Amino acid sequence: MTAPLDGIRVLDLSQLYPGPLCTMILADLGAEVIKVEPPGVGDHARTFRFLFNQINRNKKSIALNLKHPEAQEAFRRLARTADVVVEGFRPGTTARLGVDYETLKSINPRIIYCSISGFGQDGPYRDRPGHDINYMAMGGVLGLTRDRGGDPVVLGFEVADIASALNSVIAIQAALLARERTGEGQFVDIAMLDCVVFQIGRAHV
């Protein structure tokens, strides 16, 4: 039986949890995922061997130092043959590296480019760093989970990371479907805080 995403090539520039979880699901659905890691340490999740193995199955891996023009050109050559790019840098980083959506779109108009960041690609918080607990706090999750004394309790799993990964998978698949009709790719902007707020909204329906 042919897998649903058989024949789809994904370039994965992301590290740690949200992006790699997204691309793992795409790989499980049959996509060819090429994980692009910096030389040396690679994905920082490699420090946590169990986590890395858990969310990077079914992927290929190459090392490219995208701070070097030769590596940037090598990535752009790969992008000519790719369907999807997933990245999790701070906004503006991929533009400095010459591997942003507008650059890749100019050489592959069918590319679907998914950026996962804490606060999205625009707005007053776009350049702020953050982690799962920050997005849970700002999104209201910690206001719903309290101990008997009324103090916030951190959940035992990464709410923002997992929600943003799942929303990325949904959006990427929707973009692939739209491309079948239009012949053109698109940019997917996933804000982790938005994914938390969406869940809180559903909790009060």
Residues with catalytic function:
161
SS3 category, 9:
strand
In this structure, are strands 59-63 and 84-87 parallel, antiparallel, or unpaired?
unpaired
Q: Per residue in 26-61, is it b (16+ CB within 10 Å) or e — as a string?
A: bbeeebbbbbbbbeeebbebeeeeebbeebbeebee
The residues, ordered by sequence, that sit 6+ positions from 40 with a Cβ below 8 Å of its Cβ are none
48 φ/ψ angles, rounded to the nearest 5 degrees: -110, 85
Q: How many CB atoms lie within 10 A of CB 103?
A: 18
